[in-house]
Amino acid sequence: MKVLKTIKEMQEHARTLILKGKIIGFVPTMGALHEGHLSLVRQARKDNDIVIVSIFVNPIQFGPQEDFARYPRDLEGDSIKLKNEGVDLIFYPDMNDMYPVGYRTFVEVQEISERLCGAFRPGHFRGVATVVTKLFNIIKPHRAYFGLKDYQQTVIIKKMVQDLNMDIEIITCPTVREPDGLAMSSRNLYLKPDERRAATVIYRTLLEAERLMREFRKPEGVKTIMFDRLRSEPLVTSIDYAGLYDPETLEEIKDYSEKEEVLIAIALRIGDTRLIDNMIVKL
């Protein structure tokens, strides 16, 4: 398994692979890899000749008060996991190579970036869309893999690829959960043992919301019960959002009698740790 650290080397290597007719599958990550990431890598391994994984903690998708500095970093552990999955190459760029002094260009997907997490993390999705565009230009993949745990991110990336005519297939893969239902996330590492136990309230609330929806409750009623359940957990310090949304526009749903699919989504803090999760319900 190769590790390339400069954009120039990566671009040259990608050009050579493409000239040889290789199909490239790409998994962008910020490292601290868990089973969720590895499920994307396994899918990429099945679908493509070459699998490239990037590891880059992207500063421009973190707000000034967010966890950029303490975000878990473990290149050595990540490399072992990726080697075991048969990954061909890790791209591990340096911050100054990605954003040199004088960097001025950003990608913004309007409206859908401002809803849900975007309303609470201004500039976050602009940072994501920008770095993913840069990584796509550097690696030139045929396919790129994203987890549905970050549902809004997948909607934004698909829209960006469509609007900017990027010739890349976006593949989304199901959320991987711990045995008690907690969605896998690198940020779960921040949770103290009692917070880790409390975090199961998120998945339990998603399941209950799904059940209530199927009993034909009105969205407002389901939302109220979701907030009640989440607030009943004393270690939940704040709730950014919880409710039912349109899976494409991400707007809150007022009536789902005509809908085929509904997104149930939650973002909250347990202690200082912000966690998100979601579920798509087919009606």
**Which residues are near ligand PAF by CB under 6 A?**
28-30, 58, 61, 128, 131-132, 150, 153
Starting from the edge strand earliest in sequence, which strands make up the sheet with 236-245, in order?
Answer: 236-245, 261-270, 273-282
Least spacing, CB of residue 153 vs ligand PAF, in Å: 6
Report residue 205 as tokens. 């609330």
Q: Which one from 13, 34, 37, 142 is the annotated catalytic residue? A: 37
Nearer to ligand PAF, 71 or 241 (CB): 71
Nearer to ligand PAF, 184 or 236 (CB): 184
Residues 6+ apart with CB under 8 A from 114: none
Least spacing, CB of residue 119 vs ligand PAF, in Å: 17
Q: Please give the Cα distance from 79 to 274 (Å, whole number).
A: 26
Residues 6+ apart with CB under 8 A from 190: 67, 70, 271, 272, 273
Nearer to ligand PAF, 29 or 175 (CB): 29
Type of residue found at 274:
R
Nearer to ligand PAF, 40 or 230 (CB): 40
- Cα–Cα distance list, 94 to 19, 20, 44, 46, 107 (Å): 26, 28, 24, 29, 20
The DSSP code for 121 is S
| Residue 124 appears among annotated catalytic residues | no
Type of residue found at 194:
D
Nearer to ligand PAF, 52 or 132 (CB): 132
Least spacing, CB of residue 187 vs ligand PAF, in Å: 11
Site of tokens 């409750």:
217
Least spacing, CB of residue 56 vs ligand PAF, in Å: 7
* DSSP three-state, residue 274: strand
Would you please indicate which residues are annotated as catalytic (active-site) residues? 37
